[in-house]
Chains A and B, each alone.
Chain A
Amino acid sequence: MLLIPCPWCGPRDESEFRYGGEAHIGAPANPGSLSDADWADYLFMRNNPKGWFRERWMHAQGCRRWFNAVRHTVSNEIAAVYRMGEPPPPAPGPGREGET
């Protein structure tokens, strides 16, 4: 089970959280002028890196607030958590297992 550091409550068990998938997907500024391909990209296409990933979590059984995390998708190492609206920290170097 992951130990996830909620930026408000501190480290808690993964089972208290809800996963929100990839972070920083902004709603389109001009929805009326989007092509079908643009809509597909916004609605369905996702990064799925083997390595560092910026993702959203919600502390469902705690403060019930959303936040972002930078987690490595092989080692599960969490390099940073930051609150909604804060700028994402720069991507860390290679992960513990030498994966990129």
Chain B
Amino acid sequence: MTAAPASASGVAIDVKGLTKSFGGREVVHDLSMQVKRGTIYGFLGPNGSGKTTTIRMLCGLLTPDSGEGTCLGYDIRRDADKIKRRVGYMTQRFSLYQDLSVRENLEFVARLYGTRDARGAAREMIKRLGLSGREEQLAGELSGGWKQRLALGACTLPNPKLLLLDEPTAGVDPKARRDFWNEIHALAAEGLTVLVSTHYMDEAERCHEIAYIAYGHLLAHGTVDDVIAKSALSTYTVTGDNLNELAAELTGKPGVDMVAPFGTSLHVSGRDREALEASIAPYRDRPGLHWQHSEPSLEDVFIELMTRSKDNFQ
């Protein structure tokens, strides 16, 4: 990489070797990451891979067993208080008060951060969130999409420098999801750093940089193109008849690391291009099949990384 060693001002998150175990089971292993200020950083990985645990270590909610680093220039072990004052954390599960109204929740947050005019700040935020008319509704009675907007509003209210969003769009309809991402981009455009975990592939494409974590191991990071290029994966897209049969026949052949159906086509990938081509050669002339060498998709890369890591770490 050509980037100069990150100066404190250029990097929002800089951690090295974070490790965390629960009851003897290592959930996050030797994780290092750097997030530049003003970027949207996607944190991808299957369920249970340690995304939430990592985010909690970043904002001082969990103490790493080993490893160190800084968040906004503050030590994650020693300066948890300072980090908390400058970081907005949106939890995976809705964690505002269900029995408080929209307005009361926002006022509570504003007061906790010492905002002088808590009522005014809450009123302003309600307007910006498009929640006018719902301010007296109990948070617990809002729909999923509105809850998520409220939660984002609550964590941006105290003017944080860094947002940590843990699967903010899980279970939200596509329209609300799109609006949400537009908002995140607007926030980033104005200088906020956003770390957002997700397991939607299409959302990865909307991030400036991504990191992929599986079984607690950070397996790849960089821009989407970087990650795809670094995977050195060769992929063939097959269309035609009886793809299920073909998939069964190809699975396990030398050089074939992954066979995955994608809608009406089949993706056949391998890291060793020669071995892969040798294995698929007998099928390439089969009538009714159309083979094409293609760029692997991000999903191909992730699935392959995950399958590989499963063999290594499980």
Check if A and B associate.
Answer: no
Q: Which A residues have a C-beta under 8 Å from some C-beta of B?
A: none
Q: A-contacting residues of B (Cβ < 8 Å)? A: none
